[in-house]
A = this chain, B = another copy of it.
């Protein structure tokens, strides 16, 4: 058995090395509060719904089988969440799962009688992928037990059945799961199996379908692709697995291929929030520059997959741009996907909602945006949020020979070797980040300066009573480092300028033409209208004055927040009962009044609402 560092991703090489969850302990704050809510509320909520919907009963052999063909995977994602959260319900749920495993390691409640008859839509390997990820989490947090044995037996079955041949799964995830199991156990067959799954794809390995083979990235080999395409979650899970294979096999060409696909995708197929996916029909990217705010799909799971991928690329390269996108996605997508109560979720995350959706108490049969729901027919997102929040500390900090890197600024205790640090900050509300030395040690401490933070300063404040003098210097976006022998009480202070900024879309983003958005720090803002608040359909933003900040108190369970106010033109409604295309441009005139903006991740918490991130710029 190999490592016991408790982190979902532990590459054996790369520029940066992850720290374990035991080395990064979240404290109350933006992420610490969410992780606590996840552990206390969301995990139990998911368990309850999976029982109610019969998806757990499927493992007990209850008939008729219930749920979609991939519902087993939801239980595995929940098990992974429980593993990271050291949740006491794990062993009992793992026991239930174990009952359904067959003698040769096969495990699937849907296809047991007709194994491997539908690689395009069957999701059998996909389900194993999530099972193996749960097993790895358990192995790293706890050590061998029933769940890890079930996962390893399944992985061995996969290797025996699929090592030779040309088959793969319509939904990737097995690739990264197998590499991680290799990393956790040292057994090379898992890496080899993952490598083969990656190389088989696009030869092609799967049948053509109405969506086209690009839907499941089987249109061309991953080395030849120029951009992420097709179903977003599939594309990003695959790319994550490809990075893992590339890193473990030293395949630089493969790594570069993913880096360049990432670059083009981020430049042309990514919404302001970091969300990806512009088409509902096939949950896919759409084309370059196709970025509709109203029909943005931006599946919550896709944002999680994007964070997973960016994190892997960050570890491999140390390039801050990957942490920049991860931050954008963490604060504007992951934090948006779950309501402040921890019990209702967004599946799709549009940037504009014209008609308020009615909240549901029961299952939401659709995956439309604008509607936080307790559960879905396809309920990937709640469980994916649960496992991601349970392990989110894994993304915050890394180490290298140069010392410790802090990528995301949130209250936490971080330990690396002898050095113990405490991060204190009200980020993202405040741009002041203090890193205090709790226990002495040597080496560099690097803090990420986000790409939007031009004008940041980094200061060193020596512990009271020491000879060293205070230092302060401007720092550029990227990483700002101080290396020294640290003493308890020493403090590093990063000051990030948090002035709200107007943000404009690129010219080719046709759906955003003539619009402007507001950002502050890592947060995207939006206007929201609930009940009889002024409607948003005829509002435009006046950009000649800067947005004004309003610091609000801590109602809502996640501490204080910063809201913004801008000047807006409220135009009188036009004649919307006549043919709307005319030889005269409709005037944008109207009355001026302030418009309140809230962080995008907080929208949809006050009841049925309309919302928009992109506001027409007043003429």
* A578 partner residues in chain B, CB cutoff 8 A: 267
Q: How far apart are the CA atoms of A576 and B509 in the complex, in Å?
A: 11
Quick check: is A204 within 8 A (CB to CB) of the other chain? no
In angstroms, Cα B229 to Cα A355, docked, is 14
Pairwise interchain contact A366-B579, C-beta atoms closer than 8 A: no
A359 in contact (CB, < 8 A): no
Chain B residues near A116 (CB-CB < 8 A): none
Chain B interface: which of A78-86, A456-464, A581-589?
Answer: A581-589
Q: Mark A562-583, 1 if CB is under 8 A from B, else 0.
A: 0000000001001111111111
Whether the pair A267, B354 counts as a contact (CB closer than 8 A) is: no
Q: Judge whether A537 and B508 touch: CB under 8 Å.
A: yes
Given known contacts A268-B576, A294-B290, A577-B267, A504 and B212 CB-to-CB distance under 8 angstroms: no
* Chain B binder among A42-50, A157-165, A511-519: A511-519
- CB neighbours of A581 from chain B (8 A): 272, 503-506, 517
Kindly identify which residue among B289, B293, B582, B588 contacts A510, using a CB–CB cutoff of 8 Å.
B293
A:573-614 near B, CB below 8 Å:
574-586, 588
User: Across the interface, do B586 and A504 meet the contact criterion of CB distance under 8 Å?
Assistant: yes
Question: Binary interface profile of A, 417-460, with partner B (CB < 8 Å = 1, else 0)?
Answer: 00000000000000000000000000000000001000000000
**Contact pick for A507, options B209, B507, B538, CB 8 Å:** B538
Give 8 closest A-B pairs by Cβ, nearest first.
A506-B580, A514-B514, A280-B281, A281-B281, A513-B514, A210-B365, A507-B586, A504-B585
A199 near B: Cβ within 8 Å? no
How far, in whole Å, are A366 and B571 apart by their CA atoms in the complex? 41
Chain A 281-312 near chain B by CB (<8 Å), digits 1 or 0 = 10000111110111100000000000000000
Instruction: Give 21 A-B contacts (CB < 8 Å), ordered by A residue.
Output: A267-B575, A267-B576, A267-B579, A268-B576, A287-B355, A288-B354, A289-B537, A292-B292, A352-B510, A503-B581, A503-B582, A504-B581, A504-B583, A504-B585, A505-B580, A506-B586, A507-B571, A508-B538, A510-B511, A513-B515, A517-B581
Q: Are B210 and A507 in contact (CB under 8 A)?
A: no
Chain B nearest CB, measured from A284 CB (Å)? 10
**A51 interfacial contact with B, CB 8 Å:** no
Smallest CB gap from A278: residue in B: B295
A binding-site residues for B, Cβ under 8 Å: 208-212, 263-264, 266-268, 272, 279-281, 286-290, 292-295, 352, 354-355, 365-366, 377, 451, 501-511, 513-515, 517, 537-538, 571, 574-586, 588, 616
Complex: A14 Cα to B272 Cα, angstroms? 54
Q: What separation, in Å, do the CA atoms of A295 and B502 have in the docked complex?
A: 28
- How many angstroms from the CA of A509 to the CA of B586 in the assembled complex? 11
CB nearest to A271 among chain B residues? B581
A293 to B355, CA, bound (A): 20
Query: What are the residues of chain B within 8 A of A377 when measuring CB–CB?
Result: 210
- The answer to whether A513 touches B267, judged by C-beta atoms less than 8 angstroms apart, is no
Q: CB distance A504 to B584 under 8 Å?
A: yes
What is the chain B residue whose CB lies nearest that of A365?
Answer: B210
A263's contact among B281, B366, B577, by CB below 8 Å, is which?
B577
Cross-chain contact of A583 among B272, B295, B366, B503 (Cβ < 8 A): B503
Residues of B contacting A582 in the complex (Cβ-Cβ under 8 angstroms): 503-504, 506
Bound together, the chains give a CA A505 to CA B582 distance in angstroms of 7
Question: Which residues of B lie under 8 Å from residue A209 when comparing CB positions?
Answer: 365
* Interfacial chain B residues near A290, Cβ < 8 Å: 294-295, 354
**Cα distance A550–B586 in the bound complex, in angstroms:** 30
A580 to B352, CA, bound (A): 19
- Most B CB contacts (10 A, CB to CB) among A281, A355, A580 go to A580
Interchain CB contact under 8 A, B211 and A366: yes
Q: In the complex, what distance in Å separates the CA atom of A354 from the CA atom of B288?
A: 8
List the B side residues contacting A505 at CB < 8 Å.
580-581
Measured between alpha carbons, how far is A263 from B268 in the docked complex, in Å?
Answer: 38
B-side contacts of A295, CB under 8 Å: 279, 286, 290, 292, 295
A211: which B residues are within 8 A, CB to CB? 366
Q: Are B514 and A583 in contact (CB under 8 A)?
A: no
Given that A280-B281, A581-B504, A585-B504 are contacting pairs, would A294 and B510 also be in contact in the complex, using a CB cutoff of 8 Å? yes
Known contacts A268-B580, A292-B511, A513-B515; 16 further A-B pairs (Cβ under 8 A): A208-B365, A209-B365, A212-B365, A264-B577, A267-B577, A267-B578, A288-B576, A289-B537, A290-B294, A290-B295, A295-B295, A451-B579, A504-B586, A505-B581, A506-B576, A508-B537
Residues of B within 8 A of A585 (CB): 504
In contact, B580 and A210 (Cβ under 8 angstroms): no
Name the residue on B nearest A354 (C-beta). Answer: B287
CB distance from A83 to the nearest CB of B (A): 32
Interface pair B506/A366, CB less than 8 Å apart = no
Which B residues are CB-close (under 8 A) to A616? Answer: 507, 510, 513
Name which residue of chain B comes closest to A283, CB basis: B281
For the complex formed, measure the closest distance between the CB of A473 and the CB atoms of chain B, giving whole angstroms: 24
Note all chain B residues with C-beta closer than 8 A to A501.
583
Q: How far is the CA of A508 from the CA of B511 in the complex (A)?
A: 13
Residue of B nearest to A588 (CB): B507
Which residues in B have their C-beta under 8 angstroms from that of A365? 208-210, 212
Docked pose: A292 CA to B290 CA in angstroms: 10
Whole-angstrom distance from the CB of A337 to the nearest CB of chain B? 20
Q: In the bound complex, how far is the Cα of B588 from the Cα of A365, in angstroms? A: 44
Q: Is the CB of B212 within 8 A of A366?
A: yes
